[in-house]
Amino acid sequence: QATPKDGEGTFLRTGDLAFFHDGELVICGRLKDVIIIHGRNLHPQDLEASVELSHDAVRSGGSAAFPTDRDDAEVIVVVVEVDGEPDEEEVSKAIRQALFREFEVTVADVLLVPPYTVPKTSSGKKQRGAARQLWEAARTEEEATPV
């Protein structure tokens, strides 16, 4: 139950982030997806847009950004779909530089995956929680692989 400042009526909280533009309600994201780093609210869609422009091998619409804790400092992890077999270090470096340059955020890890791997709903919305699980599984598998 949510009540506006004027006290008139009650409303259901949906978790959507939205604003009014020229009298139209514009939905721009989900409250649960907002990433807070050093007191700044970052929207994953903005981070992902930068990631997707950072290198030619990165697929449009094929990235998911989410926070993770490392040494008590919140940092970003990115799962990224790439075309072909690009130089992983080059792509990762380009992504890290773009996010630091544009948002001053540190990227803890970049996981490059094949096309159509970043989980999405049937309507095409990114499933960042499932992308986190994909990243965690890949890193667990990597740690378990003997060298």
Q: Give the pLDDT score at 72.
A: 59
Query: How much is the average pLDDT of 91-119?
Result: 96
* Residue 78 pLDDT: 97
Look at phi and psi of residue 48 and say left if phi exceeds 0, alpha if psi is from -120 to 50, else beta.
Answer: alpha
Residue 37 contacts residue 67 (beta carbons within 8 Å): yes
Report the percent of the chain where pLDDT is more than 90: 56
Identity of residue 39: G
The bridge status of strand 58-70 relative to strand 24-30 is unpaired
pLDDT-based confidence at residue 120 (cuts at 50, 70, 90): very high
For the segment 16-35, the average pLDDT, to the nearest whole number, is: 80
| Arithmetic mean of pLDDT over the chain | 88
Which has the higher per-residue pLDDT, 12 or 132?
Answer: 132
107-113: strand order across its sheet: 58-70, 73-82, 107-113
Residue 99's pLDDT is 96
Angle at 51 between CA 50 and CA 57, to 5 degrees: 130
pLDDT at residue 3 in the model? 77
65 within 8 A of 51, measured Cβ to Cβ:
yes
- The answer to whether 63 and 81 have CB atoms below 8 angstroms apart is yes
CB 15 within 8 A of CB 31: yes
CB 68 within 8 A of CB 58: no
Indicate the pTM of the whole model: 0.79
In this model, does residue 125 exceed pLDDT 70? Answer: yes
The pLDDT tens digits of the residues spanning 28-82 come to 777 778 888 888 889 999 999 999 999 999 999 999 999 886 665 678 999 999 9
Task: Give every CB contact of residue 127 below 8 A, 6+ residues apart in sequence.
Answer: 64, 119, 120, 121
What's the DSSP call for residue 72? T
Q: Per the structure block, which two tokens stand in for 127?
A: 């499933």
**Alpha-carbon torsion, ordered 31, 27, 105, 139, to 10 deg:** 70
